């Protein structure tokens, strides 16, 4: 076994060379994001040409997302300092006529429908009228005219159009904890409820059938795992199951806009899997996969005629590349690698693992081992994911690869509550923050020790958001297990966290109380699981990083944790970035954080050569 060289920290965390490629609707150009003065901006390039035109020049913040509105105009979203109040901008593909369409203070913009068949209009939602509620608007991207399509009564949390761009589905929170799907036959009609369920059940519309009469949906009604079904809004009933998997939820469904056929369903076991409904799509996937067998392959963009496609590749050891596939000539051509400075042979494999929790549940996860060393008695970083109602997936993760390159084994686990494993596995996490959810993380550590992989005296815990909470909980509630911890934008006090939710989370408050705990009814339990209230139990060094503008996990969460630690004389390092929110996006802040984390881990883990 050969150890790889020590790779520069910046190579893991710098901006991609080029990414977020999209084909123009008419199919002669593609766009992409690339760095300009360390911020991700948009460029346009003719297919077949080596020359590109930069059309945006943002310097304060990355452009977070963009799309082609029509053949000649690009729309993009950008916030300020991580506040997540995204504004919508437009610019011509020659860089002219830049305008902000939603330049409103403390308002965030979401895209509902790009209206591909209506070149000069899109449908968006904003919480402009009421900070707690998002109203849908039709936006003319030539004149900037905004027309409200429906006044949100306050409890609607999502909107969906049919294939003609008509707003016909709304999802709402009713009675504070139930979910209702509302439907109308035409835009002249009032929305009426067609099904109401507990929020623990899901009938999530994906899109309309191609005659605009029924819905394709992901549903776990009367079952544990979500399946792809056809739902009839006229009767409020499912009429057919299209695809199910015994092990996991089926997450999504794709279709061809031009041919109006279903293409594939998407689900994730250890890795992402597809169930194809359409032979043409399956043949095209297999043709690309045959040429690129070592990678996951995704068709991420196509032109209007659906004869030119962008293919994005990924693996656990590579951020992959973009290819263009011409269906007419059957030619697959490399456009650009995403991070060509990283040598795949020096990266570590991400291996799926599973273990049994102390109460008998099967927990899935991933283990990444440093390259070129024996997998015995290694220093280990435990990395619980955020959410918590999310999950870790197989694929390239720069944090994981960086830590592996520095000699650490890295353990990730989809503890109870992680999504995708069915309703029972999700529900058994309710009101279990710091309790059974934390036990699952502790049991993962014990598994790694029992396997002989981890050195029990050199184990650190690091996570962001809920993972930051799990870090603090791990240090407070299992104080002898870890050598040190790194908390990145993590919750520390369940009471102050609940009291500082963004206004547009208000419809979900009662659900959150059911899932995590009610500050009044469950006050004893929440006090028990709030790490800031148990700082006296923490024995080991802690590094805390926080964005000052974080709308989800308020600055006060980290402030109080640090104050409690300092009051006890425990070593705590604290990094606050005034121009960041829920996680550091600006490249200089990323570098600063990971440099500090590397020094902190090395100092406290006493790495042995």
Positions marked catalytic: 465, 550, 582
User: Sign (positive/negative) of CA torsion 548, 551, 552, 557?
Assistant: positive
Residue 88 and residue 76: Cα distance in Å, rounded?
6
Residue 452 and residue 470: Cα distance in Å, rounded?
24
| Segment (H or E) for 216 | strand 215-219
- What strand order describes the sheet that includes 296-302? 296-302, 308-314, 321-326, 331-337
Residue 362 and residue 421: Cα distance in Å, rounded?
10
3-class DSSP state for residue 225?
A: coil
Tokens of 397: 């993760």
Residue 497 and residue 530: Cα distance in Å, rounded?
10
| Residue written as token pair 């429906």 | 150
Residue 338 and residue 149: Cα distance in Å, rounded?
40
Residue 134 and residue 150: Cα distance in Å, rounded?
10
Question: b/e per residue, 228-260, with b = 16+ CB within 10 A?
Answer: bbbbebeeeebeeebbbbeebbbbebbbeeeee
Backbone torsions φ then ψ of 545, nearest 5 degrees: -130, 140
Tokens of 45: 């390039």
Closest CA to 22 of 37, 49, 44: 44
Q: Which residues contact 50 (CB under 8 A, 6 or more apart)?
A: none
| Segment (H or E) for 382 | strand 378-382
**HEC profile for 154-179?**
CCEEEEEECCCCCEEEEEEEECCCEE
540 close to 475: Cβ distance less than 8 angstroms: yes
Length of the chain: 609
Burial class (CB in 10 A: 0-12, 13-18, 19+), 495: middle
Q: What is the distance in angstroms between the CA of the first residue and the CA of the last residue of the chain?
A: 15
Report residue 314 CA to chain centroid gap.
16
Residue 394 and residue 230: Cα distance in Å, rounded?
30
Q: Where are the beta strands (DSSP E) in 56-200?
A: 65-68, 73-78, 87-92, 99-100, 109-113, 121-130, 133-140, 146-148, 156-161, 167-174, 178-183, 192-198
83 close to 550: Cβ distance less than 8 angstroms: no
Closest CA to 24 of 254, 302, 345, 440: 302
Tokens of 361: 């549940």
Residue 451 and residue 469: Cα distance in Å, rounded?
27
558 close to 574: Cβ distance less than 8 angstroms: yes
Q: Which residues contact 103 (CB under 8 A, 6 or more apart)?
A: 87
């Amino acid at each position: 076994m050969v150890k790889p060289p020590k790779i520069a920290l910046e190579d893991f965390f710098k901006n991609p060379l080029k990414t977020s490629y999209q084909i123009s609707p008419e199919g002669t150009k593609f766009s992409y994001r690339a760095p300009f003065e360390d911020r991700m901006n948009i460029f346009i390039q003719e297919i077949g040409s080596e020359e590109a035109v930069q059309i945006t020049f943002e310097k304060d913040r990355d452009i977070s997302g963009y799309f082609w509105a029509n053949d000649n105009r690009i729309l993009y979203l950008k916030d300020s300092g991580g506040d997540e109040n995204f504004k919508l901008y437009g610019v011509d593909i020659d860089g002219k006529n830049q305008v902000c369409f939603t330049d409103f203070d403390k308002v965030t913009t979401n895209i509902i429908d790009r209206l591909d068949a209506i070149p000069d209009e899109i449908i968006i939602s904003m919480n402009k009228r009421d900070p707690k509620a998002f109203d849908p608007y039709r936006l003319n991207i030539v004149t900037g005219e905004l027309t409200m399509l429906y006044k949100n009564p306050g409890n609607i949390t999502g909107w969906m159009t049919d294939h003609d761009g008509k707003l016909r589905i709304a999802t709402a929170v009713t009675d504070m904890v139930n979910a209702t799907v509302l439907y109308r036959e035409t835009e002249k009609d009032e929305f009426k409820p067609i099904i109401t369920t507990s929020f623990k059940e899901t009938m999530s519309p994906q899109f309309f059938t191609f005659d605009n009469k029924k819905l394709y949906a992901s549903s776990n009604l009367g079952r544990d795992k979500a399946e792809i079904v056809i739902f009839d809004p006229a009767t409020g009933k499912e009429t057919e199951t299209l695809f199910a998997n015994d092990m996991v939820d089926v997450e999504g469904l794709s279709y061809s806009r031009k041919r109006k056929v279903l293409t594939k369903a998407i689900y994730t076991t250890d890795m992402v899997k597809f169930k194809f409904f359409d032979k043409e799509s399956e043949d095209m996937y297999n043709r690309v996969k045959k040429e690129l067998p070592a990678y996951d392959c995704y068709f991420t963009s196509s032109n209007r005629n659906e004869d030119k496609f962008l293919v994005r590749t990924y693996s656990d050891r590579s951020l992959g590349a973009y290819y263009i596939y011409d269906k007419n000539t059957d030619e697959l051509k490399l456009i650009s690698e995403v991070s060509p400075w990283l040598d795949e042979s020096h990266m570590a494999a991400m291996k799926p693992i599973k273990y049994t929790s102390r109460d008998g549940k099967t927990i899935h996860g991933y283990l990444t081992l440093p390259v070129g060393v024996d997998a015995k008695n290694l220093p280990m970083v435990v990395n619980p994911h955020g959410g918590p109602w999310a999950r870790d997936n197989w694929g390239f993760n720069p944090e994981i690869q960086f830590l592996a390159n520095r000699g650490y084994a890295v353990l990730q686990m989809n503890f109870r509550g992680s999504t995708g494993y069915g309703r029972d596995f999700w529900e058994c996490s309710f009101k279990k923050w710091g309790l059974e959810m934390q036990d699952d993380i502790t049991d993962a550590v014990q598994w790694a020790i029992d396997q002989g992989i981890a050195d029990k005296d050199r184990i650190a815990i690091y996570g962001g958001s809920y993972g930051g909470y799990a870090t603090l909980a791990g240090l407070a509630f299992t104080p002898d297990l870890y050598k040190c911890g790194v908390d990145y934008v993590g919750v520390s006090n369940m009471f102050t966290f609940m009291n500082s939710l963004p206004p547009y989370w208000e419809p979900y408050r009662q659900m959150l109380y059911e899932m995590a705990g009610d500050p009044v009814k469950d006050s004893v339990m929440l006090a028990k699981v709030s790490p800031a209230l148990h700082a006296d139990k923490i024995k080991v060094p802690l590094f805390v990083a926080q964005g000052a503008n974080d709308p989800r996990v308020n600055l006060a969460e980290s402030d109080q944790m640090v104050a409690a630690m300092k009051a006890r004389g425990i070593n705590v390092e604290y990094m606050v970035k005034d121009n960041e929110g829920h996680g550091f996006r600006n490249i200089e802040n990323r570098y600063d954080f990971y440099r500090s984390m590397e020094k902190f881990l090395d100092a406290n883990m006493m790495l042995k050569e």
